[in-house]
Structure formats: C-alpha cells, structure tokens
Structure 1
Amino acid sequence: MLKFLGLATLFLLLAILAAIALAMVLIRLAGSEASRWHVDPALAASGREGGWTLRPEGGDAVGPRARAAPEALLRMLDEIALEEPRTRRLAGSPGEGRITYVTRSLLFGFPDYTTVAAVPHPDGGHTVLLDGRLRFGKSDLGVNRARAKRWMERLRTRLAREGTLAEPGPDGAR
C-alpha cells in the first residue's frame, strides 16, 4: 500500500510539473497580434490593475513636456525603449506617430505591451501618451508602472541634455 501511495504521489508531482512546463511554453509561444495591441493610448482607462497610463490629464501620471517635434520625441523614446531588456517593437514607428512594444518577463516570458504616442501638450510643446498593460493575469506587481517611470526619467534626462525639456517636473506621479 505504501509503495502504491509513493508511486501515486510521484505521478501527481510529475503531472503538476508537466502542466507548469506546458503553461510556460504556451506563454512564451503566445503570438502578439498588432491589431489587438497597437491601439491609441489616449483611449486607455487609467487606474486599472496591471496597467499604467501617462496623459496630460486623466492618466495615472504625466509625461515630460518637450519643445521637440512629435516624431523627434518618439524617436528618442524608441531608442530608450529598445534599450530595455527583452523589449522589441511590435508595431508602428516614430514617423507613424504611435509605437507599440512587447516586453517579456525574464523567468516566465509573460508579455507586457506598451503603446506610446506624442501629442500637443495643453501648455505648449508636446508630451508622451503611454499605455502599459499586461496580457495574462490581473496584477503585474507594478512592473508596467516601474517601466514607464524608468523610460520617462531617461527621456527627461535626454531632453534636458538636448535643451528641449520644457518642464523638468518630478517623476510625473499624480
């Protein structure tokens, strides 16, 4: 009887490990349809779990205000985003006016999507709209927020260095 219980436990453990391995493979192989994720960040809801938005008004935070053309602002942000580990451009370009990136987590490869655009700021110049969101689950443990803040801090630094930062401001959190 003990031998049977030992084998049953072993098979159960192996089944659980196989299920976890299969889930990891499926997550890593999950495709990313640009039509689903490359959407206008101005339409994103703020304050949702697992997401983070930057907008001049009504977002979770505000991005920097710059005296730079929208395409130049997005070109800078594109370089910053592509320096992020495990990040690639899914759709769009600085010339198009909107870019969507997919960033995968290190261990499990969970995809997060970040869409950015540059728009006129109400006080002059231009600013960044950003919508960072997860694909699987409900909570990202603040990863999208941290990524957005990191990108905006790098963008502020670059804008200040180039003399095109119109408003230094704090980290942009409301």
Structure 2
Amino acid sequence: MERKAMIAWILLAAVVAILTYIRLAPSDVDRWHRPIEARESKTFEGGAIRVIDARPDTLTRVNEAATDLPRTQVLAGSVAEGRVTYVTRSRLMGFPDYTTVEQQGDTVKLYARLRFGRSDMGVNAARLERLVKAAQP
C-alpha cells in the first residue's frame, strides 16, 4: 500500500508541475507576434484564420472587442502599428491561446491558435467569429 501511495503522490506532483508550467510559461513575442501570411479564411484543428474586408476603423473595432474578452490581454503591438497580438487564457486550466489581428490596406486578417495540445475544440474559431462580428459597422 505504501508503494501505491508514493506513486500517487509522484503522479499528483507531476500533474501540478505541468499545470503550473502551462499557467506561468512566458510568451515569446517573436514567436507569436508575426505577420499573418494567409490569404484566405480557414479553420484547422488547433485554430482558425479569418480574412475580411476592412474599413479604416475595423482594426480599432476588433481591438476593442478583443480587449473586452474575458481573461485576454495584449501581448504585443497596437492599433497604431497595424498589428496586435493577444493572449486569452482558458478559465479553468489557464491554457493560453494567441490571437493576432492585423490590417493591411482594405483587409483585416485574424489568426487564432493554441499553444499547447492539438485540438482547441473550436474555441479559437468561435472567438474569431465574435471578433469578426464586432468588426461590422
């Protein structure tokens, strides 16, 4: 019985260590705050990309909506720079998702993706749909 208890404590410690790392791991700005290369909208297992027509105030509207999202903060960039990257953390475990939004002339590109795991269960695509809706005048 003593051996089983020790294994259980070791497993518990490992899980706590992993979850602590996920919540506290620093975000590398150079990795996440990059130009969006995509030319068309698509959804994939760990995220989504949306490419929409823009007006002069579209990036400002999207930025306001993004900063109003729960557990979301700006990682890098600004509306004045034409590109902003946000970190949104899941409520329970604190998993970070990264969303980059940039305006290039009359086009705004939005790119949301997870950092850990393989599937986001559609969370990033849903977030982008919310931001696209907010972009409408």
TM over 0.5, shorter chain: yes
Q: Greater CA deviation, 74-83 or 41-50?
A: 41-50
Larger Rg computed on CA atoms: 1
| 2:126 corresponding residue in structure 1 | 146
In structure 2, relative to structure 1, the CA distance for the partners of 1:10 and 1:79 (3 Å cut) is: same
Distance in 1 between residues matched to 2:25 and 2:38, nearest whole Å:
25
* 2:32 aligned with 1:52: no
Report the Cα distance in structure 1 between the residues aligned to 2:130 and 2:9, rounded to whole angstroms: 40
Percent identical among aligned pairs is: 43
Alignment of 1:1-174 (within 5 A): 6-43=1-38, 46-55=42-51, 63=52, 65-66=53-54, 68-69=55-56, 72-120=57-105, 126-156=106-136, 159=137
Cα distance in 1 for partners of 2:104, 2:111 equals 14
Read off the aligned partner of 2:49 and give its amino acid letter. Answer: T
Aligned residues: 136
- Secondary structure of the residue aligned to 1:32 is coil
- Give, in angstroms, the shift of residue 48 of structure 1: 3.3
What is the CA-CA distance between 1:75 and the residue it aligns to?
1.5
Q: Distance in 2 between matches of 1:48 and 1:154?
A: 22
- Stretches of structure 2 that go unaligned for 5 or more consecutive residues are none
The secondary structure found in structure 1 opposite 2:44 is coil
Greater share of residues in strand: 2
Distance 1:88 1:75 in 2: 15
- Contact 1:42 1:129 (C-alpha < 8 Å) held by counterparts: no
Structure 1 runs of 4+ aligned residues shifted over 6 Å read none
